Structure 1
Amino acid sequence: MFDFNILHIVAGIPGLLIAMVMHEYAHALVADYMGDDTPRLMGRLTLNPMAHIDPIGALMLLVARFGWAKPVMINPNNFRSWRKGELCVAFAGPAANLIVAFVALVAQVVFSRLDLFTGTALQLVLSMIVIYNINFAIFNLLPLPPLDGSRILMCFLPSEWNYRLASLERYSFIILIALMMTPVFSYILIPLQRLVFSVFSLALLPFL
């Protein structure tokens, strides 16, 4: 799970920044579009990495390839439609990451076909962009507050269950660290990672 390869860590910095910034910017942009200007007022409607990076989450993403950014605060009461707003905002972050990953994968294929990889550096950087964005999307879809997956789930649960799920947030960090230190995390996320790669490969099949 943990990767302390210095070359991979350095090559992964662009992927880390892109994954976090695009994820949180997508949340802020969609929330603003759905009627909530809270992210705009809090300075989150920006591509400036300093507005979105969580130091511990960034470190975990670098060494474990699964991490988190600083959550975008929203006020669901401002949405024109509460459920639609919550769903769209929650899905926006992971969707942005998957789009970025696919674009980076397309770039890899194009550069390889045109023989533009003069060395392994660019190829490694693009690979890290793909991996970090896929993993960031999957990680954030876990149904554990305050991750996006819990917000999606709460849109369909009864109010009583929502309160119980929300009460887990105080233990989320401990739960996540415990999961990362055990094979359970890999058993859940690695198959999903492979599924995403399979879908991407099918989409690229006509061009390979």
Structure 2
Amino acid sequence: MDKIILDIVIWAVPVVLAITLHEAAHGYVARMFGDPTAHLAGRITLNPIKHVDLVGTLLVPGGIVLMNAITGASFPPFGWAKPVPVDFNRLRSPKADMLWVAAAGPASNFVQAIVWALLIGFLIRWQSSPDSLWFDLAQRGMLVNVGLMLINLVPIPPLDGGRIAVSLLPMRQAIAWSRLEPYGFYILIGLLYFGVLDYVLRYVARPILSFLLFFTGV
């Protein structure tokens, strides 16, 4: 039981950071493009309490860690925070600017993955043991952020990838694609249940993780 609790705590650090910075990035870029809604709501902040969602930030990632411990699986925990409020109609060019607002979240996760990879490189150069707490934390930080980035880039609204697709598609197709939004969560659950996302995470995440380690000189 102590090992499971420690496992949850170690995962909690990169998960909370990944989700918090992801949401803050959406709000920050929205403000850059003319929508102050998130700023006025006090959501452009690194205070995780402002972003925590009971189910998405705590119960779902904690449940995945618990199931991994029980079953021996290695699925990286993921979750979500309370969505940052964005009024796309207040953006200077709503359809075009939606792309940058949506892409800001996954981009923040990619940057965080680079930072965790740099930490791994630093630890290796200083001959830190692969069994050390910091090494374990950095590895999980990479996994969490790459996993969260890829899941959010699935082109289904209301995921970030879905909003990017709506921004890039011609208007008629964009309107039709945006109508999937009420069903997006159920589609995502189906992809998870049938192992489609697991396949994507395994075979797309692996070269990205390898690139990050190569990029940092590991």
| Equivalent AA in structure 2 for residue 73 of structure 1 | P
Counterparts of 1:118 and 1:131, CA distance in 2: 16
Contact 1:68 1:140 survives alignment (8 Å):
no
* Inter-partner Cα distance in structure 1 for 2:7 and 2:179: 37
The offset of 1:175, in angstroms, is 2.1
Q: If the length of structure 1 is used for normalisation, what is the TM-score?
A: 0.87
The aligned residue for residue 208 of structure 2 is 196
- The unaligned stretches of length 5 or more in structure 2 are 65-74
Distance 1:123 1:201, change over 3 A: closer
Could you tell me how far apart the structure 2 residues matched to 1:190 and 1:118 are?
Answer: 22
Q: Which residue of 1 aligns with 2:61?
A: 61
* Partner deviation per Cα, 1:6-27 (whole Å, 9 max, x = no partner): 5432210001111001101111
Q: What amino acid sits opposite 1:128 in the alignment? A: R
| Structure 2 residue aligned with 1:24 | 23
Which amino acid letter does the alignment assign opposite residue 145 of structure 2?
A: N
Matched, 1:155 2:167: yes
**Aligned position for 1:45:** 44
Change (3 A) 1:80 1:138: same
Q: Which residue of 1 aligns with 2:183?
A: 171
1:144–1:150 Cα contact (<8 Å) kept? yes
Q: Which runs of 5+ in 1 are unaligned?
A: none
What residue in structure 2 maps to residue 122 of structure 1?
Answer: 134
CA displacement 1:12-55 (0-9 Å, x = unmatched): 00011110011011111111111110111122111111222222
The answer as to 2:185 corresponding to 1:186 is: no
Farther off after superposition, 145-154 or 42-51: 42-51
User: Are the equivalent residues in 2 in contact too, given 1:100–1:130 (CA < 8 A)?
Assistant: yes
Question: Within 2, Cα distance between the matches of 1:60 and 1:98?
Answer: 22
Could you tell which deviates more after superposition, 13-22 or 69-78?
69-78
Counterpart CA distance in 1 for 2:194 and 2:32 is 40
Mapped contact 2:121–2:213 kept (Cα < 8 A): no
Aligned residue runs from structure 1 range 69-108, under 5 A: 69-108=81-120
Task: Please tell me the residue identity of whatever aligns with 1:171.
Answer: Y
Checking the alignment, whether the CA contact within 8 Å between 1:34 and 1:79 is kept in structure 2 is: yes
Taking structure 2 as the reference length, the TM-score comes to 0.83
CA contact (8 A) 2:31 2:37 kept: yes
**Conserved in 2, the CA contact under 8 Å of 1:61 and 1:132?**
no
Determine what percentage of the aligned residue pairs are the same residue: 35
Report how many residues are paired.
203
